[in-house]
Amino acid sequence: METYISTNKEDLDVPKIHRYISEDSYWGKGRTLEDVQKTINNSFCFGLYSETNEQLGFARVVTDFVVFAYMMDVIIFKNHQGKGLGDKLISHIMECDALSKIKTFALKTKDAHSLYERFGFEKIENSKLWMTKDNVVLL
């Protein structure tokens, strides 16, 4: 399947993103459509699309574009899971020019540690949720 990734927020299917986050995710139950729209407005967003422009996935990053970035709401919609699209989306985010030199990249996950470990993320201490990828050299 041919896919592409865009950072154009105008292309995002916000109601579809909201449905997934509020109904199917473990982390966003109860988030309103207005909440989701506000998070999109205030984040660097990535939409993953099919060649027919159907949205297949979504992720957002909150960042200062220099020191810190926090990846959130990483979604591959149900009918498209298990096809390697999560790898494609995360790879694109980590290689994105605007984010590739971030000093510390963080995220929280309950069940996708092995996905993020493939991109250099490590668990933080004994946390069951927090992971980080540090590109800082401490002297």
Going by DSSP bridges, is the β-strand pair 55-63/104-108 parallel, antiparallel, or unpaired? unpaired
Tell me the average pLDDT across 13-42: 96
DSSP letter string, 1-69 = --EEEE--GGG--HHHHHHIIIII-SS-TT--HHHHHHHHHTSEEEEEEETT--EEEEEEEEE-SSSEE
What pLDDT is attached to residue 53?
Answer: 95
- 109 located within any domain: no
CATH (domain of 76):
3.40.630.30
Confidence of residue 18 (pLDDT cuts 50, 70, 90): very high
Tell me the average pLDDT across 79-87: 94
- 88 located within any domain: yes
What pLDDT is attached to residue 137?
Answer: 60
- 90 located within any domain: yes
**For the chain, what is the domain count?**
1
- 107 located within any domain: no
Residues contacting residue 106 through CB under 8 Å, at least 6 positions apart: 68, 69, 70, 71, 130, 131, 132, 133
Tell me the average pLDDT across 97-122: 93
- 114 located within any domain: no
- 136 located within any domain: no
Tell me the percentage of the chain whose pLDDT exceeds 90.
89
- 65 located within any domain: yes
Model confidence at 41: pLDDT above 80: yes
- 94 located within any domain: yes
Cβ–Cβ contacts within 10 Å for residue 105, how many? 23
Order the strands of the 44-50 sheet from edge to edge: 3-6, 44-50, 55-63, 68-76, 104-108, 130-134, 122-123
Which stretch of 49-63, 65-79, 123-137 has the lowest confidence by average pLDDT? 123-137
Higher pLDDT residue, 121 or 1?
Answer: 121
Residue 14, domain extent: 3-102
